Amino acid sequence: MLLHFTKMHGLGNDFMVVDLVTQRARLRDEQIRQLGDRHLGIGFDQLLIVEPPNDPDMDFRYRIFNADGSEVENCGNGARCFARFVRDQRLTHKHEIHVETQGGPLTLVVENDGRVSVDMGAPRFAPAAIPFDAAEERLHYPLEVEGEQLQIGAVSMGNPHAVVRVDSVDAAPVARLGPAIERHPRFPQRVNAGFMQVVSPHEIRLRVFERGSGETLACGTGACAAVACGIRQGILESPVTVHLPGGTLSIEWPGNEASLIMTGPATRVFDGRVALT
């Protein structure tokens, strides 16, 4: 069968987006891996699936698959692309869109300037909610990685994140430590590893090694996680501008149990059809 899709990106974090509201298909893990191959397939960091909601109070169900075929709970850059996609495809005319995800409900707002704001919910720091193997909740946790003793912040933004503060993201050993942090045994569901350089209380630079995808040009939930950890640790103040290799996001979080709001662009690249085998 021929599957219609759209290629999109949020700050270079790229996605294949598939509407399974008006067309029907079931993608197997091996098909997702084939489609995600940048040499032999379409190539993407994540595959985004639009489905009818299970909850009648929601507008859509939003599912996310990494290029290795694994399903994950949340993706902030993907959420912005999702919002633009469902409006471009005329699946909805709403500016405020409510979607259900594995990580919980999300509210997406398409602004008049075309940017998208995402209510990412409140960060969760309890180790069991991340999940992370720790006896108690702390601002920093020691983590031994590749013979080095790191200090990390740990948080869930609907998916698990470890945040390491570095002096320079340019010199950060992302390629070496990223995979080791991602698969560290204290994170039973693996983890996204963020390397954060603080420029000022309202500005950071960030690189993220994403679980199941490797280092990407941008990670929306990673930006949210870094800001949440930084504000909680007293080194950042809302709002925070986050500079990623692919571009810039704005993050606002007043703290405590309040929702974190992420705002940034979403770009449509091309539409296509692919034969599923």
Going by C-alpha positions, the residue among 1, 68, 74 that lies closest to residue 36 is 68
Is 190 labeled as ligand-binding?
Answer: no
Spell out where 32-159 has E strands: 46-51, 60-66, 71-72, 96-101, 104-110, 116-119, 141-145, 148-156
Is 124 labeled as ligand-binding?
Answer: no
Is 112 labeled as ligand-binding?
Answer: no
Tell the residue number behind the tokens 């963020």, with chain if given.
194
229 catalytically annotated: no
Is 272 labeled as ligand-binding?
Answer: no
Which residue in 75, 81, 224, 229 is the catalytic one?
A: 75
> Taking a C-beta distance cutoff of 8 angstroms, is the pair 17, 27 a contact?
no
Is 13 labeled as ligand-binding?
Answer: yes
Is 159 labeled as ligand-binding?
Answer: yes
Report the C-alpha gap between 37 and 21 in whole angstroms. Answer: 25
Which residue in 81, 219, 224, 229 is the catalytic one?
A: 219
Is 76 labeled as ligand-binding?
Answer: yes
219 catalytically annotated: yes
Is 211 labeled as ligand-binding?
Answer: yes
Is 46 labeled as ligand-binding?
Answer: yes
Is 210 labeled as ligand-binding?
Answer: yes
Q: Which residues are catalytic?
A: 75, 219
Binding-site members are: 13, 46, 66, 76-77, 159, 192, 210-211, 220-221
Binding-site members for substrate are: 13, 46, 66, 76-77, 159, 192, 210-211, 220-221
